[in-house]
């Protein structure tokens, strides 16, 4: 039987369409709706920078004519362009016909063009003269001044000029906006006449462009933004990964052009010129009104004190009493936290306490993403300064966080911590922490070494832990801790082959163990007619794993999949009649990876750092770990899985690869809200 797959690129665009539905949903607070629109706009940028750029590279290679999901590449490029433009148009319509007018009713004004009231003229002109004009460098194009290299996603302007002394002489000029110039300026409250007014850079540039060209008459000016291929290639043979990466980062924003966003007013002759210079396909030219780089405004809601226009704040219970140490808390029993419903503070406190505790000997931790400002990284530095043996495996190739991780690597090394990096094509995506401590065993009156482990489904990022749903697992179990230590030995190169009792640690182990569990579920169903698999991941595109799920369906096993984003599995086919696929879109980004198997009544449940993508299961260092004990398993089933299957406010995949939305009834609440209420 020949199995079928859905396009991962079209599936990813479909996910963004579902996220955009949050911005359209008028039951969601207004400033949160604006934030969702900004997120989708940013996601589209990343889609073109990475996914679309990949397709273009494949097309130009002439080695293959099919995508990874067996779609003809030229048709797929056209289909992707059509869907992407539909989403962009929906964002534009939403902003200008819904969100911006609704904000104005709340006396919040987003002025994206130059149509501000006359009483703001003096303030805006002074602002431009003092804070913008001295910082920009207009370049008039000529034989000696060729078109400049436009940096990826930089807001730029092209102006049509006429020579004052020679009216028949017309030229073009280009202005790239430096990244340090704000894209939006808040009008002082007294000048704005007791309103919250924000003027966007585009309106200021259009209004005062003439000031930049004293010897020319500005006929008109137009905003544009170029999106480039930003994927980094670092050779496996590089002697110094960090130095090689630094070199790649300096040129990342000057890769091949893949998309051009232009003002809706821009004449076709100019847009064609820009497209020709940057080798942009016609179907990759997007006409945009107002700001194109919306993600620069995603924090606008945080600057405004309008609690009624935002999601209510979470009331998180204190988990650790003030006089209890983290170590005592973990020793009592294994602990499972569900972020952001549970605070991330215990993770931070554990590392901070370990850094100061004189009995702590070693700290080992993996870092994928943590942010520019990180109490965890500061604690690790303090631990090293306090004489602890600190080993940190920092993934330098965490996309778009490369520079942040390079900076942290240097800081850690400067205080004596051991810093290790993975190879370019074998990213370390595992989330692990291991602390060893010298403790007195009162029964035998001797000091012993006690280990404390932490495993998670999400990154060690306090910021992400407020908006991403993830599980944190704390344990002193000797088998867990020994396994974690062995994985660290593997990562630092002291052990090339390791055998673990509880954890799955490398790509081979993951595939092997997942195959065993799926095939066992099929055998169990054949014998007992009992079988159920529930998988929750961010992406499901690995063909081998999809084929196994098809085989489980053919074998009669009920398969429920909760896939937030990309999904290449097809439902409604003869080989997938027992498979349901759900997508969860809500206030929080569903981020945990959970693998559940009925196992003939002896349930098995694993938490993991790994999505079901070929890169995760074949080329990355990932860690999956079992959850033991009915209470903890039931907790994860209730809060992470069952609540989203056939549930309220869920999206269900159809056989045409679109999704049905099961909307809330009048008095119903979302599953995420229910989790909040039950804690």
Q: Specify the residue for token string 């198997």.
A: 597
Strand partners, 535: 561, 595
Close Cβ partners of 673 (under 8 Å, ≥ 6 residues apart): 587
User: Two tokens at 584?
Assistant: 């969860």
Bridge partners of residue 559, in order along the sequence: 533, 579
Other CB atoms within 10 A of residue 666 CB: 4
**Dist. CA 566–CA 575, nearest whole Å:** 20
Contacts of 71 (CB under 8 A, 6+ apart): 7
Rg (CA), the chain: 27
Query: Do residues 66 and 245 lie in contact, with contact meaning Cβ atoms separated by under 8 Å?
Result: no
Cα separation of 637 and 605, whole Å? 9
Q: Is residue 543 flagged as an active site residue? A: no
- Check residue 243 and report its DSSP letter: H
C-alpha distances in Å from residue 249, one per residue of 252, 400, 585: 5, 10, 33
In eight-state DSSP terms, residue 308 is: G
Q: Which two tokens stand for residue 330?
A: 């973990």
Output the 3-class SS for 5-58.
ECCHHHHHHHHHHHHHHHHHCCCCCHHHHHHHHHHHHHHHHHHHHHHHHHHHHH
Tally Cβ neighbours within 10 Å of residue 618: 15
CA separation (Å) from 140 to 135, 159, 170, 211, 345?
Answer: 16, 9, 11, 14, 54
User: How deeply is 281 buried, as exposed, middle or buried, from its count of CB atoms within 10 A (0-12, 13-18, 19+)?
Assistant: middle
* Separation in Å, CA 100 to CA 31, 34, 96, 202: 10, 9, 6, 16
Beta strands in 290-357 (DSSP E): 335-339
> Is the torsion defined by CA of 40, 45, 51, 55 positive or negative?
positive
Q: Which of 339, 421, 429, 454 is catalytic?
A: 429
Angle, vertex CA 182, rays to CA 180 and CA 184, nearest 5: 170
Omega within 30 of 0 (cis) for the link into 340: yes
Cα–Cα–Cα angle for 11, 556, 71, rounded to 5 degrees: 25
What ranges make up the beta strands (E) of 76-147? 108-111, 139-140
Q: How far apart are CA 581 and CA 442, in angstroms?
A: 54
DSSP collapsed to 3 states, 172-186: EEEEECCCCCCCEEE
For residues 670 and 679, give the distance between their C-alpha atoms in angstroms, rounded to a whole number: 15
Q: How far is CA 433 from the centre of its chain?
A: 22
Catalytic residues: 429
């Amino acid at each position: 039987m020949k199995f079928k797959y859905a396009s991962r690129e079209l599936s990813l665009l479909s996910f963004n369409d579902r996220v955009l539905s949050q911005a359209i949903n008028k039951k969601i607070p207004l400033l949160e709706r604006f934030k969702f629109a900004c997120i989708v706009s940013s996601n589209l940028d990343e889609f073109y920078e990475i996914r679309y750029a990949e397709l273009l590279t494949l097309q130009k290679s002439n080695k293959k004519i099919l995508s990874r999901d067996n779609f003809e590449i030229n048709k797929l490029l056209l289909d992707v362009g059509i869907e992407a433009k539909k989403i962009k148009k929906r964002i534009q319509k939403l902003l200008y016909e819904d969100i911006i007018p609704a904000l104005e009713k709340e006396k919040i004004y987003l002025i994206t063009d130059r149509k501000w009231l006359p009483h703001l003229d003096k303030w805006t002109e002074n602002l431009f003269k003092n804070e913008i004009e001295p910082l920009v460098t207009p370049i008039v194009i000529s034989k000696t001044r060729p078109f400049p290299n436009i940096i990826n996603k930089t807001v730029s302007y092209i102006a049509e000029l006429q020579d004052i002394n020679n009216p028949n002489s017309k030229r073009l000029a280009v202005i790239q906006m430096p990244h340090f110039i704000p894209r939006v300026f808040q009008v002082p409250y007294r000048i704005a006449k007791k309103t919250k007014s924000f003027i966007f850079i585009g309106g200021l540039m259009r209004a005062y462009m003439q000031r930049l060209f004293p010897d020319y008459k500005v006929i008109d000016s137009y905003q544009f933004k170029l999106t480039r291929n930003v994927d980094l290639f670092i050779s496996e043979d590089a002697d110094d990964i960090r130095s090689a990466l630094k070199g790649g980062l300096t040129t990342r924003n000057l890769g091949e052009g893949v998309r051009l966003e232009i003002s809706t007013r821009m004449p076709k002759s100019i847009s064609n010129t820009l497209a020709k210079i940057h080798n942009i396909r016609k179907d990759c030219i997007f006409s945009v009104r107002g700001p194109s780089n919306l993600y620069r405004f995603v924090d606008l809601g945080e600057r405004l004190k309008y609690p009624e226009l935002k999601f209510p704040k979470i009331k998180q219970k204190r988990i650790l009493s003030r006089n209890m140490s983290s170590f005592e808390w973990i020793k009592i029993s294994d602990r499972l936290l569900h972020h952001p419903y549970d605070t991330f503070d215990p993770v931070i406190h554990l590392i901070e306490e370990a850094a100061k505790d004189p009995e702590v000997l070693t700290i080992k931790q993996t870092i994928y993403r943590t942010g520019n400002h990180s109490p965890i990284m500061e604690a690790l530095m303090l631990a090293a300064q306090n004489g602890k043996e600190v080993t940190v495996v920092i993934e330098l190739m965490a996309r778009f966080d490369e520079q942040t991780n390079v900076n942290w690597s240097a800081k850690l090394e400067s205080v004596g911590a051991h810093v290790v990096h993975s190879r370019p094509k074998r990213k370390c995506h595992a989330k692990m922490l291991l602390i060893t401590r010298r403790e007195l065993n009162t029964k035998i009156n001797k000091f012993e070494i006690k280990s404390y482990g932490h495993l998670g489904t999400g990154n060690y990022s306090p910021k992400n832990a407020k908006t991403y749903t993830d599980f944190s697992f704390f344990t002193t179990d000797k088998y867990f801790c020994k396994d974690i230590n062995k994985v660290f030995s593997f990562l630092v190169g002291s052990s090339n082959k390791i055998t673990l009792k509880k954890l799955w640690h490398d790509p081979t182990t993951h595939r092997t163990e997942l195959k065993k569990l799926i095939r066992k579920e099929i055998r169990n169903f054949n014998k007992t007619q009992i079988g159920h698999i529930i998988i929750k991941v961010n992406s499901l595109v690995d063909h081998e794993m999809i084929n196994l799920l098809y085989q489980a369906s053919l074998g009669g096993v009920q398969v429920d999949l909760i896939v937030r984003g990309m999904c290449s599995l097809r439902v409604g086919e003869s080989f997938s009649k027992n498979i349901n696929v759900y997508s969860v879109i809500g206030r929080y980004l569903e981020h945990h990876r959970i693998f559940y198997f009925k196992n003939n009544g002896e349930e098995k449940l694993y938490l993991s750092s790994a999505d079901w993508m070929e890169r995760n299961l074949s080329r990355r260092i990932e860690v999956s770990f079992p959850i033991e004990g009915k209470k903890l398993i039931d907790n994860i089933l209730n809060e992470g899985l069952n609540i989203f299957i056939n549930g309220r406010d869920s999206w269900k995949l159809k056989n045409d690869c679109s999704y049905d939305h099961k909307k809330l009834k009048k008095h119903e609440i979302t599953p995420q809200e229910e989790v909040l209420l039950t804690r």
